[in-house]
Amino acid sequence: MGASDLDTAFFAAWIGEVARTIGAEKDRLTRLDAAIGDADHGANLDRGFTAITQALADKEPGTPGALLHLVGSTLIRKVGGASGPLYGTAFREAGKALGDATEVSVAELAGALEAGLAGIQNLGSAAEGDKTMVDALAPAVRALAQAVQDGSDPRQAADAAASAALAGAEATIPMQARKGRASYLGPRSVGHEDPGAASTALILTALRTVTAQ
């Protein structure tokens, strides 16, 4: 894969891998959410990405940006709780950042994910250390941008992003939640991985999987 050939088919493959991974991990995500939330994170995301898979099967958008916008809009419509609006906003902002291009570079993907992170933070007012999905996404965005700056190829860049997201999710375990329903638990939220950070890591891991293919 070259440096600037991430086309609509690539993004469709990524989202397809996300849907498969979320489906496989939905019970684990729900268990994580049961400890500090509503016990519905895995089921909600699985429902959302199942609907996305159906929408893409009916008609695949013509550009990467349009595809990500469809993903975001579907998540907002189909997923309950906070994760639907947050993930939906992230994907829509990422799609908007990519514009109408039919192929995008890894650098442009990094910029799109940065726009998605900004969308999440604007909506949820979360910062790193609050024990949210931001704790996985922010380091992933930084790692991807740094890999691009270092001249890494797409596989290396995606691997760096996924590794950073996984480490960021694991780092939420000793944190006390300061945002969302988990924050109501106070010190009792310590010792549990944040489910939103865990699902974010799965999304970045799916990106690494399809980039390596």
DSSP annotation of 158 reads H
Name the pLDDT band for 1 (thresholds 50, 70, 90).
very low
DSSP annotation of 7 reads E
SS3 74: helix
DSSP annotation of 192 reads S
Residue 84 to residue 64: CA distance in whole angstroms: 20
pLDDT in tens, 171-188: 999 999 998 888 888 898
Question: C-alpha angle 58/61/67, rounded to 5°?
Answer: 110
Residue 143 to residue 153: CA distance in whole angstroms: 13
From the list 72, 35, 30, 85, the residue with the least C-alpha distance to 199 is 30
The yes or no reply on domain 6-211 and CATH 3.40.50.2300 is: no
**Six-digit token pair at 4?**
């600037």
pTM above 0.75, yes or no: yes
Domain ranges of the chain: 6-211
Yes or no: say if 67 and 27 are a contact pair by the CB < 8 Å rule: no
Bridge-partner residues for 7, per DSSP? 103
**H or E element at residue 203:** helix 195-211
pLDDT in tens, 52-102: 999 999 998 999 999 999 999 999 999 978 899 999 999 999 999 999 999
